[in-house]
Structure 1
Amino acid sequence: MDFGPDDEIEHDDPIPPYRQLAAILRAQIQRGDYKPRRPIPSEERLVQDFGLSRPTVRKAIRVLVDEGILFVVPQRGTYVAEKPAGSADAAD
């Protein structure tokens, strides 16, 4: 599953949209678009930007939380983990 940071959701792709979004966000984080301990865009913003439903966006975020790339602070938002999995310095 190879999606770049600037890719768009392909609704007719066999890969589910939530997996595509997770891959795109992962690539954006790896590129440095979102820094550690800083928030990613809100669910509502991701819904608007990618033309997805809120449950689909939440599912993508859950994938990245489960991978240790993001963490959620209730009533505050979703943040990039200190050393996202897959980053060049994650082994330090």
Structure 2
Amino acid sequence: MTVDQLDPRPLWEQLAAIIRDQIKAGVFEPRQVLPSEAHLQQEHGVARGTVRRAMAALAEQGWAVTIQGRGSFVAPRESWPEA
């Protein structure tokens, strides 16, 4: 699954939803490192800013934790939002 350039939703929002769904599905486990910005850029054909905005949104929502110099990780399950 990747972003849809014809979808009216912003690309960062689509990318955040894809990663969130992968976390929920168990593709990424709590405390596991998420793919790098470069990898996500290449895989989804989006700009670096799009990836950064998506990761920031995931962090704001409680799905991910970003540590400067180390990367982004799946947040512990207790940090995940309800539903």
Same fold per superposition (TM over 0.5): yes
Which residue does the alignment assign to 1:21? 15
- TM-score, length basis structure 2: 0.92
Flag the 1:41–1:87 CA change in 2: closer, same or farther, 3 A.
farther
* TM-score, normalised relative to structure 1: 0.83
Is the Cα–Cα contact under 8 Å of residues 36 and 80 in structure 1 kept in the other structure?
A: yes
Q: Could you say which structure has the higher helix fraction? A: 2
Whichever of the two has the greater Rg, that structure is 1
User: Deviation per CA, 1:23-67, whole angstroms, max 9, x where unpaired?
Assistant: 000000000111111100000000000000000000000010000
Any gaps of 5 or more consecutive residues in structure 2? Answer: none
After the TM superposition, which segments of 4 or more aligned residues of structure 1 sit over 3 Å from their partners? Answer: none
Name the CA distance, whole Å, in 2 between partners of 1:87 and 1:43. 27
Q: Distance in 2 between matches of 1:13 and 1:75?
A: 33
What secondary structure does 2:41 align onto?
Answer: helix
Identity %: 39
RMSD (CA atoms): 1.4
Using the alignment, how far apart are the partners of 1:69 and 1:87 within structure 2? 11
- The number of residue pairs the alignment matches comes to 82
Q: Contact (CA 8 Å) 1:9, 1:21: kept in 2 or not?
A: yes
C-alpha separation between the residues in 2 aligned to 1:47 and 1:26? 17
Which one of 54, 75, 86 corresponds to residue 69 of structure 2?
75
